Chain A
Amino acid sequence: MHNKKEWASGYLFILPSLILLIILVFYPLFMTFIYSFYDMSLVSNRYLGWEAYQKLFQNPKLYLIFKNSLTWTILVVFFQCLLGLGSALILQQTFVGNAFLRGLVILPWVMPGVIAGMAWRLIYDPHLGLLNHYLQILGIVDRPLTWLSSPNMALYAVIFTAIWKGFPFSTIMYLAGLQGVPSELYEAAEIDGANEVKQFFHITIPSMKPIITVTLLLTFIWTFNYFELVYVMTGGGPAESSHIFPTYIYDLAFKRFRFGDASRFAVVDFLFLLIFSLFYVRTTFKSEENL
């Protein structure tokens, strides 16, 4: 009896968020799945069934977008992790201005994505941008490069910006993680004569494994679905060379009004992330059990 009452109040507490979630997230997601079986645009609304997916998998665009999305996500996540760890190690040292630098480092992450995109468009600009100017002074390039309007560079230029924009999140997480490493471990290692490099790989990294695991997964999902930077900086161009899933889905839906195609790309995006996350969580849990 007592239990039932507690259950009821539990459901009552979570009900508002559950209702919102169903109406605003799961119902639309379900509709996207339904739309994905249709040839749907402003002028047609025809049921295709699995044929729709057969067509999708014959579409070379799918493989291009997939390749771009993976390149984008893997490079951004990898370098954010590296920079995050590096900057956390620096900020953990004592030096004058440490608190100030900690406040400063978080700014790129806090800055609205659209603004970060615009600022970097200015930096990359062939005429107004300082990047080309400095590279020329240093003698690295002999004429201004059109970073954002060359098909073989545009995606990488945005990747660099995304690394800059997002790495402070990793810094914050790793800095918190570093503070959780028991100092006795280092003291013991010091007595055993282990140098700092050894301490880093045998104490710091293993103790921080849980937080690194979670941070990698979070940044992977966020980066894979990050819309603003690519949209604002290149719009997926030039010649659609820098499109990733979210920007391409948006383009299909609201520039070309091909709602069916957009839904199919969205379904692939979602299923990929779902399978990836399940796989990731399972393997990391397994390896933890084996320890």
Chain B
Amino acid sequence: MIKRQKTGKIITYLFALLLAIFVCFPLIVMISMSLKAPDEQFTYPPHLIPQHPTLNNYFQVFGQGSMFAKYFSNSLLVASVSTLIVLGVAIFSSYGYARMNFPGKNFLFILLLLSQLFPLAAIIVPLYRIMGNLKLIDTYLSLIISYLAFSVPVGVWLLRSFFLGVPQELEEAALIDGCTRFQAFWKIVIPLVRPGMGATAAYVFFLTWQEFMFALTFINSESKRTLPVGIFDFVGQYETNWGNLMAASILVCIPVFVIFFFIQKQLVAGLTEGAVKG
């Protein structure tokens, strides 16, 4: 019996190791390439462990003539403003869908979910025309507005599941104590879903931080580009500078990895709740 348990343990560790390798291999390749000097980047056969590791690629990414810092601040601006707007809209709407009664509620909520059914490529032509008519092409605003198209539904859906997790009795007690409906919502419920709001904000930030297609289409001038398009542009017409590209990629990943590290538990709770409760 003990022997069986021991082999079971060994098998568990073996599979855990395989899983770790599968997940990490591309990350290790990225880190490895980002630490290689130009002459080593192109040696054949390639080696996983850099022979003469250097941080030069990272310095070059921030160095003179590099647009990385500009792209980074553009992305930060677009993603933060989008997230704030989504949160402001979603707080009310998700509470409405979670707690209030009105005719057509289910229908409207299904409409919200339906909006997740088509590719963004399906609405990009009309959106492009709208932006063109409003003279918004090549502005940050065009990105912020178009990001609302996919992030508002997600934000409402996710935040709703956090509201559903708050016991209804709390609001009822507040109403009996003479609070208005709005006061109960604002003073009792909102503070309770603050962690959920954090998770929702982080998720929306993460979606807008990496958005690629709209950014590729609506922005023409180099100085207004966001990170994903800027990174894609590293693949030059001549020779791709893989060292710089991977160093930049790692720098882009770090903020999202850090955010996810902190909100993982909340987000998982919201995603699973939201998915199962519709």
Q: A16-B89, A17-B89, A122-B29 are in contact. Are A114 and B231 (CB under 8 A)?
A: yes
Q: Which of A105, A128, A247, A259 is close to B125, meaning CB atoms less than 8 Å apart?
A: A259
Q: Which of B19, B24, B181, B245 is close to A90, meaning CB atoms less than 8 Å apart?
A: B19
Residue-by-residue, is B210-239 near A (CB-CB < 8 Å gives 1, otherwise 0)?
Answer: 101100010000000001110110110000
Question: A113, B123: Cβ atoms under 8 Å?
Answer: no
Nearest-neighbour CB distance to chain B for A94, whole angstroms, equals 9
Q: Does B111 contact A (CB under 8 A)?
A: yes
Q: How far is the CA of A51 from the CA of B9 in the complex (A)?
A: 65
Q: How far is the CA of A274 from the CA of B45 in the complex (A)?
A: 49
Q: What is the total number of residues of chain B having a CB less than 8 Å from a CB of chain A?
A: 92
Name B144-178 residues within 8 Å CB distance of A.
Answer: 145-146, 148-149, 152-153, 156
Q: How far is the CA of A210 from the CA of B273 in the complex (A)?
A: 12
Question: B149, A24: Cβ atoms under 8 Å?
Answer: yes
Q: How far is the CA of A111 from the CA of B210 in the complex (A)?
A: 9
Q: How far is the CA of A130 from the CA of B145 in the complex (A)?
A: 41
Q: Which of B15, B26, B276 is close to A123, meaning CB atoms less than 8 Å apart?
A: B26
What A residues does B23 contact at CB under 8 A?
Answer: 104-105, 107-108, 164, 168
What B residues does A177 contact at CB under 8 A?
Answer: 272
Nearest-neighbour CB distance to chain A for B202, whole angstroms, equals 10
Q: Does B105 contact A (CB under 8 A)?
A: yes
Q: How far is the CA of A87 from the CA of B12 in the complex (A)?
A: 11
Q: Does A52 contact B (CB under 8 A)?
A: no
Q: Does A250 contact B (CB under 8 A)?
A: yes
What A residues does B228 contact at CB under 8 A?
Answer: 112-115, 228
Closest to B93 in A: A17
Question: B89, A35: Cβ atoms under 8 Å?
Answer: no
Q: Which of B26, B117, B123, B127 is close to A164, meaning CB atoms less than 8 Å apart?
A: B26
Question: A93, B12: Cβ atoms under 8 Å?
Answer: yes
Q: How far is the CA of A270 from the CA of B260 in the complex (A)?
A: 31
Q: Does A32 contact B (CB under 8 A)?
A: yes
Q: Does A6 contact B (CB under 8 A)?
A: yes
Q: How far is the CA of A210 from the CA of B229 in the complex (A)?
A: 38
Closest to B272 in A: A176
Q: A32-B126, A97-B16, A214-B276 are in contact. Are A111 and B253 (CB under 8 A)?
A: yes
Q: Does A82 contact B (CB under 8 A)?
A: no
Nearest-neighbour CB distance to chain A for B212, whole angstroms, equals 5
Q: Does B101 contact A (CB under 8 A)?
A: yes
- The 22 listed contacts between A and B (C-beta, < 8 Å) are A10-B96, A10-B105, A13-B92, A18-B93, A24-B127, A27-B126, A28-B123, A87-B19, A90-B19, A97-B16, A106-B260, A110-B257, A112-B227, A112-B228, A118-B235, A119-B249, A129-B46, A130-B46, A133-B46, A245-B121, A253-B121, A266-B119
Nearest first, the 9 closest Cβ-Cβ pairs linking A and B are A13-B96, A112-B210, A10-B102, A266-B122, A10-B100, A28-B126, A17-B93, A225-B119, A31-B126
